[in-house]
Amino acid sequence: MNKKNTKKDNSSEIEKKKKNKTGSEKNKKLAKKQSRFLKWLDRIERFGNALPHPATIFAILALFVVFVSWLAAMFDWSAVYPTTNPDNLLSFKVVKPFSLISAEGFRYMFVSMTDNFINFPPLGFVLVAMLGIGLAEGTGFIEALIRQTVVKAPERMVTMVVVAAGILSHLASSVGYVVLIPLGAMVFIAFDRHPVAGIAAAFVGVSGGFGANFFIGSVDPILAGLSESAAQMLQPNFSVNPAVNFYFMLASAFMVTIVGTIVTEKIVEPRLGPWKKTEVDVKGISKLQKKGLKYAFFAFLAVIATFILLVVPQSGLLHGEGSVLKGPFFMGSGLITAILIFFFLPGFVFGLVTGTIKNDRDVIKIMIKAIKGLAPYIVLVFFAAQFVFFFKRSNLGIILAIRGANFLKAAGISGILLILIFIVFSSFMNMFMGSASAKWAIMAPVFVPMFMLSGYHPALTQAAFRIGDSVTNIVTPMMSYFALILTFVHKYDKKAGIGTMIATMIPYSIFLFIAWSLLMSIWFLLGLPLGPGGPLTM
């Protein structure tokens, strides 16, 4: 019996060794694949770091447009543009390129440079909106609101609230990255959960859910302004309001919250393993801040009630003729004014109660500080505006749009397949250029008119772009806050590197891409509007 048992033991040990050998070989192969992947990421990082400043890129692109416009005029790269005459009959118009390397072109560039900068649509929208958002941020109102929302969450709802708070943080430019993401780690520790999972959950809400929101944020006017400029290449009076994607954004916010929660709890957190308990002080907000939030909430309700009275009744001053959506509240820059008031008044009340505002000078100082924070953006806009308006004046955008639309029609690509291809393309572009507004400034003049000529409204093109831009935000080293997030992870995992970040966040990218593509497909097939004044088709 002993000999038999010995033989069995020996055979079992041999089987274990074989399994271990096979397992080690698999691990080596897996390690090789991982190293190749990390090397690829390192190449992308080196390439991104070698690129000039975005403002310089736009300056180079503007010069490139000047040169290409000259080539286009020399070789007569014209296109036939379908339009309607005063009798509403279909006719055709020949669009010819305008050379910026000519006497007339030089005069145009010399005279229009200042006007291009001033009339660049996102500039005014952002400056006005940031007066209100900046005050709310400067008084500590937004940070206190985020802290109160997260720390007070029931245990079973912690992940969901962290992700949702990340989406909500889009209302302020950098609060989510700087405050909410490290706070997510501390909240998870308070519930004896892995802090890196808390960072991942907050990160997916702040950055992966960039194309979703529960309210209109500061990025919406920027993207809408760029879409409007691009659409006006075909229709000079065309307007795109900042809320054009709001219905889809709201549905997307719930979708991102659900997907982010499931991926965190079912994939990311189990992979990270158990967390060794440590004492970390998770601070909420003070009694004075709670009092400030209380009165700020009353101020917010007062603003809501006032706007309802002004917008909903037919006799309201902001009610449109025949439709609320055609009124001053939604048309033109009305919504920007509303955003200013929505943030300014609650932020002002919060500041008065908490003492961060003692007099009018404090209000002005906070607003000046908010505008100072936009200095890099303003410099960027100057060069971006030249590129956009040079591109528009050269007629290259219209010619490319017409030829591109003809190619898509000839290839038989249309409908949801066209939208999904564009989402993939936007995701790919995001791996090399982090700024959403910078990418859209380049892409909108080509793709918005192209999709319009294929029968699709700019709202649809913009929504598809935002999906693609969002799902790879959390895995691209080109994202400006990527290094900061890695620093947060290092606090809890000293061995963590880019590979750790990518491996942790890739599941979110995959499942967000699948879920968002399905949501867009269903939305498209049902023919639902994307937002106020945002139909799917022209």
**pLDDT for 30:** 46
**pLDDT for 299:** 93
- Tally of structural domains, the chain: 2
Are residue 43 and residue 86 in the same domain, yes or no?
no
Domain-embedded: residue 537: no
16 has a pLDDT exceeding 60: no
| Lowest-pLDDT choice from 11-25, 209-223, 322-336 | 11-25
Taking the model in full, what pTM does it have? 0.65
Domain-embedded: residue 327: yes
Distances (CA, A) of 351 to 72, 143, 291, 354: 57, 12, 11, 5
Distances (CA, A) of 5 to 8, 12, 18: 5, 10, 20
In this prediction, residues 500-516 reach a mean pLDDT of 87
**pLDDT for 361:** 93
Are residue 12 and residue 111 in the same domain, yes or no?
no
34 has a pLDDT exceeding 60: no
**What is the domain extent for residue 101?**
51-526
Are residue 486 and residue 451 in the same domain, yes or no?
yes
**pLDDT for 280:** 47
Are residue 225 and residue 352 in the same domain, yes or no?
yes
Are residue 144 and residue 85 in the same domain, yes or no?
yes
Are residue 21 and residue 86 in the same domain, yes or no?
no
Model confidence at 49, in pLDDT bands (50, 70, 90)?
Answer: low
**pLDDT for 278:** 56
Are residue 185 and residue 216 in the same domain, yes or no?
yes
Model confidence at 351, in pLDDT bands (50, 70, 90)?
Answer: very high
Q: Is the distance from CB of 459 to CB of 534 less than 8 angstroms? A: yes
Model confidence at 87, in pLDDT bands (50, 70, 90)?
Answer: low
Q: pLDDT per residue over 459-481, tens digit each? A: 999 999 999 988 988 887 666 67
**pLDDT for 416:** 87
| Lowest-pLDDT choice from 84-93, 155-164, 172-181, 451-460 | 84-93
In this prediction, residues 279-284 reach a mean pLDDT of 53
- Residue 135: HSE in the Cβ half-sphere, 13 Å Cα cutoff: 27
Other C-beta atoms lying within 10 Å of the C-beta of residue 315: 6
Domain final residue, candidates 50, 71, 88: 50
449 has a pLDDT exceeding 60: yes
Are residue 57 and residue 28 in the same domain, yes or no?
no
State what percent of residues in the chain have pLDDT above 90.
24
In this prediction, residues 73-86 reach a mean pLDDT of 73
Are residue 174 and residue 204 in the same domain, yes or no?
yes
**pLDDT for 78:** 85
392 has a pLDDT exceeding 80: yes
In this prediction, residues 502-527 reach a mean pLDDT of 90
**pLDDT for 217:** 72
Domain-embedded: residue 538: no
Q: pLDDT per residue over 243-265, tens digit each? A: 889 999 999 999 999 999 999 99
Q: Is the distance from CB of 427 to CB of 470 less than 8 angstroms? A: no
Q: Is the distance from CB of 176 to CB of 182 less than 8 angstroms? A: no
* Percent of residues in the chain assigned helix, strand, coil, to nearest 5: 70, 5, 25
* Better-scored residue on pLDDT, 222 or 163: 163
**pLDDT for 23:** 47
89 has a pLDDT exceeding 60: no
**pLDDT for 29:** 53
Model confidence at 520, in pLDDT bands (50, 70, 90)?
Answer: very high
Q: Rounded distance, CA 130 to CA 243, Å? A: 17
Are residue 31 and residue 128 in the same domain, yes or no?
no
The residue to which tokens 């010069």 are assigned: 63
Conformation bin of residue 120: beta by default, left when phi > 0, alpha when psi is -120 to 50: beta
- Backbone dihedral angles phi then psi of residue 320, each to the nearest 5 degrees: -80, 165
Best-predicted range by mean pLDDT among 14-28, 117-131, 199-213, 374-388? 199-213
Model confidence at 284, in pLDDT bands (50, 70, 90)?
Answer: low
Q: Rounded distance, CA 144 to CA 285, Å? A: 6
Domain-embedded: residue 309: yes
Please list, in sequence order, all residues whose beta carbon lies within 8 angstroms of the beta carbon of residue 515, skipping any fewer than 6 positions away: 255, 259
* Better-scored residue on pLDDT, 104 or 28: 104
Are residue 171 and residue 237 in the same domain, yes or no?
yes
Mean pLDDT score of the chain, rounded to an integer?
80
Q: Rounded distance, CA 343 to CA 321, Å? A: 28
Burial of 495 (0-12, 13-18, 19+ CB in 10 A): exposed
Are residue 77 and residue 11 in the same domain, yes or no?
no
Residue 83 CA, distance from chain mean position = 34
Domain-embedded: residue 43: yes
Residue 88 CA, distance from chain mean position = 39
**pLDDT for 13:** 54
**pLDDT for 144:** 82
Domain-embedded: residue 533: no
- Residue 280: HSE in the Cβ half-sphere, 13 Å Cα cutoff: 22
Can you list the alpha helix ranges (DSSP code H) found in 232-333? 246-263, 269-272, 287-311
**pLDDT for 37:** 47
Residue 447 CA, distance from chain mean position = 18
268 has a pLDDT exceeding 50: yes
In this prediction, residues 409-429 reach a mean pLDDT of 81
| Lowest-pLDDT choice from 151-160, 169-178, 220-229, 248-257 | 169-178
